[in-house]
Structure 1
Amino acid sequence: MITLSKIHVRGFRLLEDIEMSVEVGSTVIVGRNNSGKTSLTEVLDHFLGEQAGKFRLEDFSAGLRSAFISSKVDRDTGVLPASELLEKLPAISLDLTFTYGKGGLGPLSPFIIDLDPACTTAIARIEYSATIATIGALLDTPADPAVPLLIEPAPAAEPVVPVDPNTAFFRHLRTAIPDAYTLRVSAIDPTDPTNRRTFQSASELTALIRVGIVRAQRTLDPGKKGDPEVIGKLLSQLFRTANSAEAAQSDQDVVAQLKKSVSHVEAAMQSGFDTQLKGLLPALGMFGFPSLNDTELRPHTTIDIESVLTDNTRILYSGFDGVHLPEGYNGLGTRNLIYILLQLEAIHKVYRGLPTRPAVHLVFIEEPEAHLHPQMQEVFIAKLNEAVGALSARYPGDGVWPAQFIVSTHSSHLANAAAFEAIRYFLNVSTPIAGVRRTKVKDFRKGATKIPEPDRKFLQQYMTLTKCDLYFADKAILVEGATERILMPRIIRMIDKGIDAAKCLGSQYITTMEIGGAYAQKFFPLLEYLELKSIIVTDLDAVRLEGGRHRKCLCAEAGGTSNSALKAWFDKPDIQVTELLAKTPAEKTRGFYRIAYQIPEEGSAHCARSYEDALILANLADFGIAADADTASKAWEVAKGFGKSEEAIRFAVKEEDWNVPRYIREGLVWLSEPPPPLPPIPPLIEPPATIEVAAEAEE
């Protein structure tokens, strides 16, 4: 069996250098908007789909475009030979790693060039790059032709602004790149990257893998612009597939019957309809031209079955009493799901109808959640794998459809229903180059192993049950209880009043998750892996040992803490409250995430042990408590009377002006700051062997 196991993209839009593994069944891509999810679909389409070879200047990663300018400078000054210039020029490449087992290798055979009998992988590279022969056309901008002045020009009313040479050069590249760049397919030895084999065409690759794409649907709503009968339009596509010589016999039989029916209708029309239609045509002889006296016009009507299917056939939903409903009368969710299923059927039939079927069929499905209710979203991934079996069962003895699905989504329901190891988290991060961003992929197939197995199972279940949107947020706030979760939007609005408008949390997509006091530490490795700026708001939970048992107490009377998250954060099971209060902000921070717990308010020596008494200590006057030696004790007594936080919530909602506890305020101000920058990645320069092979192939 041959399967696609890994994709590596270099130099394409936000995908400056990303690598991700591919599941045998379904791989789910998640991430915030503009994180590069659609770019992955596009790069496969530009290399293997309908857009193959149709790249533009804008498709090159922004971080690589400066190499065009430096290459031009090197060519103009003659400091580098053509072979080194070719190595320096940006390229867009796609590496596909295939895994194979025992048995026939078929179309994978040309790509297996290693000599290691234990190796079970093969790498195919397809690259969009310049050649030795086209460097001049790419880097030499034509000079403007000299035009003799016949009349002395009038003085300019305003000074002419000189054209930036870089702007002019990039304008030249927009037209030069399609002519100077070409696709090249190679086999890469996984045991020795310098051992490569270059093919003369892409035929070997197209025999190995095919790509199908189900685009995100935006034309199903009859209230929007676009064709509301998009499902019916799929009939003509299914007809074309079934009409091919390689289609299954059952499909060809259906086409034959359709053609036979159309021929009967044509015969009837030509005998009756055409005769009547002739009466509408004038006799040409009446115009008085002798040469036309013997010329007669005769109508002849034919029916193109594909036009009938495209323009005159509609999908109806079965109704009652012979009244059937048009396509647009059904719900958008149902129509979207039917459209996806019919698209999969069309993609499947195209695969079955190919003269030589590829070993791998990679199918992208973009945002299938549109208009689907949550329960339908949750079962979608599981049903995809079932659909492969159902479609294959229609062709007994013809082999199973070797489909591997990649699904991009913004749905927390769909993402959380997927297996942990099937998640690929796309993160849009800044680079050292001002204004330039790139995609970083968090591959859970590899990275999830950093999370202990029991914690992994807990996180999977927790995220499925709570439908949390951790994968799609700009930043995250993890709180211990319902009080903090309910009040957090109000608290954020209050914090935003005192910080820079550009950093306001209210203008960022913040997800707030209630995780309980005993489970926060299970999220530590996940937050670290996601590199998602987050804050964990938890309670100090001061306790003292009394009668062999830990009992709640004031912080001033406490020994340790019962909070497992704090013990795990500082890796000290017996950590004391005095130690916790002495911790610095740096000690409470780990790269992208930070922990926050109760600390004394400014100018006070009293410290709360929970959110409720922290709220009271920050607003003593509102609760009628004097600032004295017993302040903490009084606040705790009032907090005990809150019941299950109802009073704390009611106070915070009712009061217009109150103080946010210091530990939350400091934590949220830290969260409002941009995340720390990631270290720069090395330039995308291929080893010299690549250039030598490419040059030899061109020569």
Structure 2
Amino acid sequence: MRLVKADIKNFRKLKNCSLSFSSDQTILVGANNSGKTSAMKVLKLFLKHESSNEGFKYTDFTFDNWGQLNKRAQFWLNETVIMNAEEELQEWKNLCPTLDLIINVESSEIHHVIEFLPSLDWDGGLIGLRLRLEPKNIEELRNDFVELCHENKRVMSENGQIELSNLWPNENIQEFLSRHLDKYFKIKSYVIDPYVKETEELILDTSEPLKGLIKIDVIGEDAGFFNSNGAKNLLSTIIQSFYKSHFDNDDRRKTANDLVAIRAVNDSKSAFDTTLTETFSEILSEIRDLGYPGSKNDPNISISSKIDQIETLGHESAIRFKINNDDGEEEIKIPEGLNGLGFRRLISITLTLIDFRESWLRSNRLDQEPIEPLHLVLIEEPEAHLHAQVQQVFIKKAYETLCHGQPSHCRTQLLVSTHSSYLARELDFSNLRYFKRKNSDLIPHAEVVDLSKTFDENASQNEKFVTRYIKTTHCDLFFANGIILVEGDAERLLVPHFIKNHFPKLNSSYISILSVGGAHAHRLQSLIEKLDLPCLIITDLDSVIKTIQMDEEGNIKMNKDNTEKVKYEKCIPLLNKGQLTNNDTLIKWFPMKDQVDDLLKLGYEEKANGNIRVSYQTQVSFGFKGEQKIAFPYTFEESVYFENRPLINTVFKKDINKDDKRIKATGVLLKMIKAEECEDVDHFRQNIFSALDSNKVDMAMDLIYGLEPKELKTPQYIDEGLSWLENKIIGVDELIKGEINEVC
């Protein structure tokens, strides 16, 4: 048995989304305010986690549904409108928080789900269960609301100083239910057909349909893994609680170790009592002779100790760590409080998971209650308790810990929500569920993307590349507000400085910058489009000249597949020369053009398509020998140089001259500065172009070393792209923020 899918409707911003579960571990990723917490919350509320006393609140309804519910409530105040209770209830149901659980069940497990079978001929497969928060009695809700509204009108008519807006609930059903949701609403459960989209509902006559079927445990983001004293006795406290739950209950089988422990405690108690009696003998004798008035006998006090093995585990030194090797020397141990907090939290969370497992399996218990076949464990943002070094260790071991000793007929499924790229990168791509913000609506909603379905069956090699690349470099794009793909390391080093110093609003957003190169950026297309985040692609023109290869006799050389043999040579970008681009991103992704002339003639608006924009080199104007010249840079480095020549030549020098206080340039930058000696502009331009044969990242290093980054001018094509990205992210965010405040 395993949980396959949870369809969530009308819960907060999860208006209509589907969360599929991996068979073992599922990780929820996404930017802030994307709906991950809501998904965890709706599962806890509907599945009735036993440690939670929380119930539904009126704010759990999707905000834009309240407008429709308020309209329906207004009809109640119109006495001429006749309502059909059954139809009216159905209208309310369509707007209420709903959770559909789709569970895969083997035919041998039919006894667990006999009440949920979709048909009599069911022989294993999917079953469906719908849980919905809905009105207990729609007529009672209507009558009470109308009665209160009428009473308010009576008060108004008798007191001209009172306005309707002064009287709760102001004829507003949302305000009315903000105080009385529990009174008028309850969770009702239904059997549904998992294979039919618009399925009929068969109501279940039970308040706990999942009892005996699913055991749910939760580690919330507010779990007590740290407290006001810095978790001084964190591990001791958890071990004490664990012992009390699993080793000190009367409803478990006593083992040989238990009997030895009981005898040892009793022997200790007897010895301690003897010592106490001897110590207090004189004091007790004095008390015995007090002759208390009204007492038939003088007080005769005896002392008996109570040794509580559980309480002894709670003190500071109950848990100690051995720090020296076992080489025959006396052991050196330190108290728990002197060990690393991160390490103690890791052990403590692991012990909590073991506690969940043992409680589920009822290890050594005398009671014969059957074990639930499905154990669902929810962990919210474990990084809140674990620092980066142990997050990866934790996620590798958590599921293994939960499944240790698990019977073959049972299954554990782990669901984790996180903002940590360290956690996300440790699991397979197929385990990730991305929560995407849909900002096109008046009120933002969320959509869940199953990243295991990002690539089609014909793109297996591409999927391997993206998976390997993401896992080894940038899982942070799953938590970003926007993405920038850059051509190489030079851009990766300098673009963050351009953002920080010239785009303060963009700098306040969570931007993921990936260095992938023009030859591979297009391989990320499926993933980027699935995430649907604003994405700026900063790439190079990479202009080339195509020439057909000829043999010595002037005949065209042919390939084995009978196609002409051609050669591509990189060249300085020029208009009207029939040049091509060698950049796969521009050819295969966007704007899907291979002619340099076409690329250079594209306008600002034509370089964007929805949430994707491409930025590549554009025309620059520069001064040379007193004249203004025009050039089309080939790469990022050329653009930076052409647009910052005066500054660069002021700060850097080309030779070692001790009297010259400027900084000695190296590599690409040195060759570009030397090109300034040319008398001819074409010669100058060619030398700048030839300088690119050196290690280009050294130029970025020189600039970072020698210049104040805020003095460096952003190349025009990058400036345009960053302006677009800023408007795309900040403009939408500010719009949504204003709309939400209006609604609230």
The interval holding the TM-score normalised by the smaller chain is 0.7 to 0.9
Task: Spell out, residue by residue over 1:462-514, the C-alpha distance to the aligned partner (whole angstroms, 9 max, x if none).
Answer: 11222441111111111011111100122113432xxxx7xx21111112111
* Aligned mates of 1:489, 1:23 — CA distance in 2: 37
Query: How far did 1:107 drift?
Result: 1.3
Matched, 1:426 2:449: no
Query: How far did 1:591 drift?
Result: 1.9
* Aligned mates of 2:318, 2:163 — CA distance in 1: 63
Contact 1:27 1:422 in 2 (8 A): yes
Worse-superposed segment, 487-496 or 345-354: 487-496
Q: Tell me which residue corresponds to 1:176.
A: 180
Q: Tell me which residue corresponds to 2:90.
A: 87
Alignment equivalent of 1:186, drawn from 179, 190, 201? 190
* Aligned mates of 1:581, 1:487 — CA distance in 2: 24
Worse-superposed segment, 419-428 or 437-446: 437-446
Alignment equivalent of 2:109, drawn from 100, 104, 113? 104
* Aligned mates of 2:99, 2:256 — CA distance in 1: 40
Q: Tell me which residue corresponds to 2:26.
A: 27
Structure 2-normalised TM-score?
0.77
Aligned-residue identity in percent = 26
Q: Tell me which residue corresponds to 1:647.
A: 699
Q: Tell me which residue corresponds to 2:568.
A: 550
Q: Amino acid of the residue matched to residue 519 of structure 2?
A: A
1:81/1:582 CA distance change after superposition, 3 Å? same
* Aligned mates of 2:311, 2:16 — CA distance in 1: 45
Q: Amino acid of the residue matched to residue 634 of structure 1?
A: F
SS at match of 2:4: strand
Alignment equivalent of 1:599, drawn from 590, 594, 618? 618
Contact 2:168 2:176 in 1 (8 A): no
* Aligned mates of 2:286, 2:185 — CA distance in 1: 56
Alignment equivalent of 1:667, drawn from 708, 716, 721? 721
Query: How far did 1:517 drift?
Result: 2.3
SS at match of 2:217: strand
Q: Tell me which residue corresponds to 1:588.
A: 607
> Within 5 Å, which residues of 2 pair with 1:266-345?
273=276, 276=280, 279=284, 288=293, 290=294, 302=306, 306-309=310-313, 314-320=318-324, 321-345=330-354
Q: Amino acid of the residue matched to residue 582 of structure 2?
A: S
1:171/1:256 CA distance change after superposition, 3 Å? farther
1:305/1:651 CA distance change after superposition, 3 Å? closer
1:629/1:107 CA distance change after superposition, 3 Å? farther
Contact 1:220 1:228 in 2 (8 A): no
Contact 1:517 1:538 in 2 (8 A): yes
User: Where do 5+ consecutive residues of structure 2 fail to align?
Assistant: 325-329, 363-367, 550-565, 622-627, 650-674, 737-744
Structure exhibiting the larger radius of gyration computed from Cα positions: 2
Q: Tell me which residue corresponds to 1:72.
A: 73
Number of residues of Structure 1 aligned to a counterpart in Structure 2: 653
1:595/1:73 CA distance change after superposition, 3 Å? same
* Aligned mates of 1:677, 1:428 — CA distance in 2: 11
Contact 1:543 1:558 in 2 (8 A): no
* Aligned mates of 1:371, 1:485 — CA distance in 2: 31
SS at match of 1:103: helix
Worse-superposed segment, 450-459 or 174-183: 450-459
Q: Amino acid of the residue matched to residue 516 of structure 1?
A: G
Q: Tell me which residue corresponds to 1:637.
A: 687
Contact 2:13 2:445 in 1 (8 A): yes
User: Where do 5+ consecutive residues of structure 1 fail to align?
Assistant: 393-397, 681-699
Contact 1:30 1:423 in 2 (8 A): yes
SS at match of 1:659: coil
Contact 1:86 1:135 in 2 (8 A): no
Contact 2:540 2:636 in 1 (8 A): yes
SS at match of 2:401: helix
> Within 5 Å, which residues of 2 pair with 1:363-442?
363-369=377-383, 376-378=390-392, 380-388=394-402, 390-392=404-406, 398-399=407-408, 402-430=411-439, 432-433=441-442, 436-442=443-449
SS at match of 1:206: coil
1:371/1:179 CA distance change after superposition, 3 Å? closer
* Aligned mates of 1:525, 1:457 — CA distance in 2: 13
* Aligned mates of 2:402, 2:641 — CA distance in 1: 60
> Within 5 Å, which residues of 2 pair with 1:347-358?
347-353=356-362, 355-358=369-372
Matched, 1:610 2:635: yes
Task: Spell out, residue by residue over 1:583-628, the C-alpha distance to the aligned partner (whole angstroms, 9 max, x if none).
Answer: 34444323212111112148985321211222233345557899x9
Task: Spell out, residue by residue over 1:508-564, the C-alpha distance to the aligned partner (whole angstroms, 9 max, x if none).
Answer: 111211112210100111111001111111100011024541111121145211111
Contact 1:219 1:225 in 2 (8 A): no
1:190/1:168 CA distance change after superposition, 3 Å? closer
Task: Spell out, residue by residue over 1:282-309, the C-alpha distance to the aligned partner (whole angstroms, 9 max, x if none).
Answer: 6799564x47779988776545555555
Contact 1:242 1:349 in 2 (8 A): no
Contact 1:479 1:514 in 2 (8 A): yes
Q: Amino acid of the residue matched to residue 588 of structure 1?
A: K
Alignment equivalent of 2:453, drawn from 436, 446, 452? 446
* Aligned mates of 2:521, 2:463 — CA distance in 1: 13
Alignment equivalent of 1:561, drawn from 581, 592, 599? 581
1:564/1:196 CA distance change after superposition, 3 Å? same
SS at match of 1:228: coil
SS at match of 2:702: helix
Q: Tell me which residue corresponds to 2:658.
A: none
Contact 2:454 2:526 in 1 (8 A): no
Matched, 1:579 2:598: yes
Q: Tell me which residue corresponds to 1:687.
A: none
* Aligned mates of 1:613, 1:215 — CA distance in 2: 52
SS at match of 1:671: helix
Query: How far did 1:663 drift?
Result: 1.3
* Aligned mates of 1:457, 1:375 — CA distance in 2: 26
* Aligned mates of 2:312, 2:115 — CA distance in 1: 44
* Aligned mates of 2:699, 2:635 — CA distance in 1: 14
1:309/1:113 CA distance change after superposition, 3 Å? farther
Query: How far did 1:34 drift?
Result: 2.8
> Within 5 Å, which residues of 2 pair with 1:146-185?
162=166, 165-166=169-170, 170=174, 172-185=176-189
Contact 1:388 1:401 in 2 (8 A): no
